[in-house]
Amino acid sequence: MKKSVKIVLAAAIALPVVVAAAIPFFVNANTFRPKIESRLSTALSRKVTLGNLSLSLTKGRLEADDLTIAEDPKFGQTPFFTAKLLHIGVQMKPLIFHHELLIRSFEVDAPQIHLIRAEDGTWNFSTLSHGTDRLDTTRPTSLPDLPVDRIIIKDGNATIETLPSQKNPQVYDHLNVTVEHFSLAQPFPFRVSASLPGDGKVDVSGTVGPINPQDAASTAFDTQVKIQHLDPVTAGYVDPAAGVSTIAGLDAHFVSDGTNVTSNGKVHAEHLIILKGGKAAPLPLDLSYQIVHSLKSNSGQVSDLVFQTGAIAIHIKGNYQLTANVPVLDLKLLAQSVPLNDLQALMPAVGVKLPNNATLKGGTLSADFTIKGSPTDNVIVGSYEIKNTTLVGYDIGSKIAGIAALGGIKTGDTAVIDVSRANVRITKSGSESTKIYSVLPALGVSTGSGTVSPSGQLNFHLISKVTNAKGLNKVGINLLTKMNSTSDAAKPSNASGIPITITGTAEEPVITADVNGLMKGNAATIKKKLSKLFGKKE
């Protein structure tokens, strides 16, 4: 091959490479910056600013050193969205030869996103795509559409705060977003994944749009949400003062028409504590729910919320209202003949405690409660009834101090409970039980009332009618029968039963029978009956 031919071939090969390498020197990428800023600012109705632009011919994109999207002035001056690097995919031929900007994609590296929810329920992103000068809802608003094939956010960080400010905002790290065929005027598919504090992970996928031109937060969507290893306290969803905690997983479906959000799903909860002062449930609990939330009134209806563990199901229905970002509840809890064997896994979570090493076997629980107030300051009022159960592992008879005067009560470490019911009122100041009625064959019938302090201290006062108690020996029964049948004028008002006080805690109760007081109340009569009972002269 002649030398001249080789030179021509080398030039033919090298020339395109040289031209391609030289293009960035002849095309000043920064000349496109005002146009890109203007188009984004118009589409988002927020001032958008870019840093220095450079052209990467091999990657087919423009690259901006910085990106800033301004905040809605009503929410402050801190930028809504910032990023150190923005990649803008463009069609290269129109850009180079005609200086025509045709955007194909946006890719953002490690952005910082600041989301704020106001006390009235509005979000700082609500005014995206319409601007504060176009809030007239009496007429339709058109959008300056900005169709893009793909939008990608990599390794972002989103912080969600509320006004008035709270101590623990919600933080989502390693935020990754993929949007396909983005359009302000048409629905588009998306996928979001992020990490939560405490090793939690969230994954959201579905479709959203078209963007509501009057309130972006009211845009219609249809999404599937999956959360793994959620710690709601660590994640900032639940105030630690509420006493509620768990490690949970969620699989839920959310659909919004822009006015109402309908949600149904299942929660799998482990180490669950529902009420302050409770202990973690030893077994997992599944919760299924159906909720309809009104975006306009910032309130919702719980059509059914079901706690399930083993063979039990406890239903909660009612309403809630979000006021100052705090839910105000008006709920109804209903349990009908729930097997106690399965319920015991849930009892510690709601603060129901038994004496140490004691368990309930067999029987059922029925309950009817209303729950009103906030999660940290509510009032729970209602009643419960336990039937046909057995308390195992606790010798009630041996624990009743003072009963030895009547020969003692023999129950062993198993006590049958025919029925036990009461009316209950629970507040953050403790609980109060009234109209207590219990039938234990070994002890007879007990009635009365009592309280439990926030620290768990018991203060119960009962009258126990033990004249037919199977656990009381014959001498004691005969003595009480004679005393209760007396017609003496000095007969004490409590002669129909033994006063019993219960103090201490549910795990370590202190039970005291006031037999001495009963005797002192009618000493002469008791002396006469004792003499007759034992065949002695007075």
Rounded mean pLDDT, 128-155: 65
Question: Structure pTM?
Answer: 0.77
pLDDT at 67 over 80: yes
Share of the chain above pLDDT 90, in %: 43
pLDDT, the chain, mean:
81
Instruction: Please report how the helices 474-484 and 523-534 are oriented relative to each other, as an axis angle in degrees rounded to 10.
Output: 130
The larger pLDDT score, comparing residue 408 to residue 155, is at 155
Residue boundaries of the structural domains of the chain:
394-538
Across-strand partners of 91? none
pLDDT tens digits for range 156-203: 999 988 887 766 778 889 999 999 999 888 999 999 999 988 789 999
Reduce the secondary structure of 29-54 to three states and give it as a string: HHHHHHHHHHHHHHHHCCCEEECCEE
- Give the C-alpha separation, 300 to 291, whole Å: 7
Write down the pLDDT at residue 140. Answer: 44
By mean pLDDT, which of 181-185, 269-273, 394-398, 522-526 is the weakest? 522-526
Rounded mean pLDDT, 291-298: 92
pLDDT tens digits for range 325-365: 678 999 999 999 999 988 887 787 777 888 988 999 999 99
* Nearest residue to 388 via CA among 415, 362, 368: 362
Write down the pLDDT at residue 154. Answer: 95
* Nearest residue to 204 via CA among 217, 216, 190, 186: 190
pLDDT tens digits for range 218-243: 899 999 999 999 998 888 777 777 77
pLDDT at 248 over 60: yes
Exposed/middle/buried for residue 27 (C-beta within 10 Å: 0-12, 13-18, 19+): middle
**Binning pLDDT at 50, 70 and 90, where does residue 256 land?**
very high
Write down the pLDDT at residue 472. Answer: 53
Across-strand partners of 391? 360, 415
By mean pLDDT, which of 17-21, 165-169, 175-179, 493-497 is the weakest? 17-21
Cα distances from 384 to residues 17, 88, 285, 358, in angstroms, run: 84, 64, 21, 20
